[in-house]
Amino acid sequence: MAANRFSGHGFQLGREKVFFGTHFQNYADRRKLILLLSSAIIEDIKRMRESGSVLVAYYYFDFKDAAKRDVRGLLTSVLLQLAAISDHCWDLLSQLYKMCCDGSEQPSEAALMQCLKIMFDLPEQLPIYIIIDALDECPNNTGTPSPREKVLDVVEDIVRLNHSSLFVCITSRPEQDIKTVLNPLTPLSHRVSLHEEGGQRKDINSYVRFFVQSDRAMRRWRAEDKELVIRVLSERAQGM
């Protein structure tokens, strides 16, 4: 089933399939870039979702929106998306809503997490795919624990549930605190680091070369100066 579909694109943790990819930095059109880099997985999941054979929840950590950079935003979004496409998940979320006085009170993050775990455990539950995009945009410089630490705790908790029908796809820049949590969840041979791929380095070099050659001010530079700029910028990009 899904294990075969994901051959070469993900890795297996116990019975759970997890994909952890890194991406390079392009704030102008970041979301489009991520979809291009992981298109083989995204398109595969979309086809399964359209067939009604899986449930899919996608969450993007948006550095421009403070409401989309913490664990509450992640859990709330995933719950709402699953409830929108599953009657059983909708019933569970409705129960949580009633427990919070019909929405007059905010559920705790623990309550949101517990509701999600119950959704995973529903009898005859369809396979669930959770895609977490741009995890590195969750801030790690404020609070104790920081918003990112709380998100990483939730991600680790979800992964260690080892549900056979739960699949997780994560994209992020390879920042140390993120690698510290996610790397132990999989063998080294099965990690996917897109920023180290030759094709990505080639794309970065092509982008830098295009920018230098088309920039109005740089057109007057000597050819050897342009090549020096292209080489230095491409090398120092380090895949980002």
pLDDT tens, position by position, for the chain (240 residues)?
233 223 223 333 333 445 555 433 333 334 444 444 455 666 777 777 788 888 999 898 988 888 788 999 999 999 999 999 999 999 999 999 999 998 899 999 999 999 999 999 999 899 999 989 889 999 998 778 999 999 999 999 998 898 888 988 888 888 899 989 988 876 666 566 665 555 556 767 777 788 888 888 888 888 888 888 888 877 765 544
Dihedral angle sign, alpha carbons of residues 79, 162, 156, 21: negative
Prediction pTM value: 0.70
Number of H helices, E strands in the chain: 10, 5
Q: What is the pLDDT of residue 134?
A: 86
Look at the chain and count its residues.
240
DSSP SS3 for 158: helix
What is the Cα–Cα distance from 122 to 5, expressed in whole angstroms? 24
Whether omega before 123 lies within 30 degrees of 0, making that bond cis, reads no
Q: What is the pLDDT of residue 11?
A: 31
Question: Which burial class, exposed, middle or buried, applies to 111 when counting CB atoms under 10 A from its CB (0-12, 13-18, 19+)?
Answer: middle
Q: Is 239 left (phi over 0), alpha (psi -120 to 50) or beta?
A: left
**14 in Cβ contact with 161 (< 8 Å):** no
Q: Rg (Cα) of the chain, in Å, rounded?
A: 20
Tokens of 143: 């609070």
How many Cβ atoms are within 10 Å of 79's Cβ, its own excluded? 22
Q: Is 19 left (phi over 0), alpha (psi -120 to 50) or beta?
A: beta
Tokens of 239: 């895949």
- Could you write out the DSSP letters of every residue in 24-50? ---TTSHHHHHHHHTHHHHHHHHHHHH
Q: What is the pLDDT of residue 74?
A: 96
